[in-house]
Amino acid sequence: MQIFDPRQSMSSNKFEIFHYRDAKFEGVPVHQHDFYEVYFFIGGNVEYSVEGHSYHLRKGDILLINPLELHQPRIGPDQSDYERIVLWINKNYLSRLCSNDVSLSRCFDNTNPDHSNLLRLSLSQQNYISSKLTELLEESKSKEYGSELATQALLTRFLVELNRLTMAKDKNPVTESEPSPLISSVIDFINIHYCEKLSLSRIAEEFFVSKYYLSHAFNSTVGTSIHRYITLKRLIHAKQMLSSGIRPTTAAANCGFNDYAGFYRAFTAEYGITPAEFIKSGIRNQEFEIAGTSIAKQ
C-alpha cells in the first residue's frame, strides 16, 4: 500500500502503478493527464465524473481515461476506506508496445461509437484483473534479474486482455449516468469553439437559458465552473501544439487566450511549469528515449 501522491504528472517515461487506500481522502480538482490511465476500483463510496458522465463505482469496476478527458473522483460523505489501483501509461511508450496490426490504445479510444469509460466485469474477470495488476505492481518494484523485461511482458499481456474485455463489452457498454442534453450540448459547443471568445453569457445566450441556471447545472454535473472548463480545454490543446513544435505565443493565440500573459499565468498555475520549461522537458524526454533505443539496439 502506498501513501497517496497528489501529483498529476508522470516521473517515468514508461509507466507507473500505485495501490492506494485512504481512510480520509481530501479529493483532487477536475484535471487531465498527458498519459493513459487505468483505474481499478476496490472499495469506498465514489462517484467518478469523466467529461460530464457520472459513474457510481462498484467494487471491481475499471475506468479507462484518455489523455484528453477531464475527470474527477467525488468521495461520498461516509468514512469507508477509499481503495484503488491506478496505472499510468506514457503515450509514446504504449505506442512502442503495439504492433502494426494490434493497437493497445483501442480500449481508450473515445471516438469509437460504442466506447464507454466504465468497464464492469464479472467476479471471475475482476479477480483476474486484480491478480494481474498486483503481479505487475510487485514486479515493477523488483530488483531481480530481468525484472524490467518481465514487467514489460506483464504490462503488454495485461493490456491485451484489457482490450479483449473492452471489445466484448462494447456491444453492451455501461453508462451509469448521461449528462443532461443541455450540459452535453454545452460540452460539445466548448470543444468546438474553445479557440473563440467564450464566456458564460455567450453560452447562456446560445442555449437560451439564464447564466445562473447554466452555471449551477454545469458545476454540479461536471464538477467545475464553465470558466475553468474552458481554460482547461484551451490548455490541453495548447500543450498538444507546444509538443508539435508550435511557438508558445502562436499556441496561446490559436487556443483562444486574449493575450500571452494570460496564457502564461494559466499554464503555470495549472501545470507548475512555464510553457518554455514544458517544451524543454519534452525535448529531454525525446533525447532520453532515442538514447535508450540506441543502447537497446547495440
Using one digit for the tens of pLDDT, what is the confidence trace for 210-221?
999 999 999 988
What band does 193 get if pLDDT is binned at 50, 70 and 90?
very high
Average per-residue pLDDT in the chain?
A: 88
What band does 3 get if pLDDT is binned at 50, 70 and 90?
confident
* Cell 509538443, residue located: 243
Supply the pLDDT for residue 295: 33
Q: What percent of the chain has pLDDT over 90?
A: 69
Residue 70 scores a pLDDT above 80: yes
d(CA 35, CA 15): 9
Residue 293 scores a pLDDT above 80: no
Classify 245 as helix, strand or coil: coil
The phi and psi torsions of 30 (rounded to 5 degrees) equal: -55, 130
Q: Which helix (H) or strand (E) is 20 found in, with range?
A: strand 15-22
- Encode pLDDT of 265-276 as tens digits: 999 999 889 999
What band does 204 get if pLDDT is binned at 50, 70 and 90?
very high
Supply the pLDDT for residue 113: 80
5-15 average pLDDT score: 85
Q: What percent of the chain has pLDDT over 70?
A: 91
- Residue 107 DSSP symbol: G
Q: What is the 3-state secondary structure (H, E, C) of 26-94?
A: CCCCCECCCEEEEEEEEECCEEEEECCEEEECCCCCEEEECCCCCEEEEECCCCCCEEEEEEEEEHHHH
Supply the pLDDT for residue 11: 86
Residue 171 scores a pLDDT above 60: no
Residue 168 scores a pLDDT above 50: yes
d(CA 201, CA 210): 8
Supply the pLDDT for residue 10: 87
- Encode pLDDT of 210-267 as tens digits: 999 999 999 988 889 999 999 999 999 999 999 889 999 999 999 999 999 999 999 9
User: How deeply is 41 buried, as exposed, middle or buried, from its count of CB atoms within 10 A (0-12, 13-18, 19+)?
Assistant: buried
Residue 152 scores a pLDDT above 50: yes
The β-bridge relationship of strands 35-43 and 15-22 is: unpaired
Residue 170 scores a pLDDT above 80: no
Supply the pLDDT for residue 298: 29
Supply the pLDDT for residue 165: 93
Tell me the residue type at 274: T
- Encode pLDDT of 48-58 as tens digits: 999 888 899 99
d(CA 118, CA 50): 10
22-47 average pLDDT score: 90
Closest CA to 36 of 66, 8, 11: 66
162-182 average pLDDT score: 74
Domains of the chain: 15-169 (2.60.120.280), 181-280 (1.10.10.60)
pTM of the model: 0.83
What band does 4 get if pLDDT is binned at 50, 70 and 90?
confident
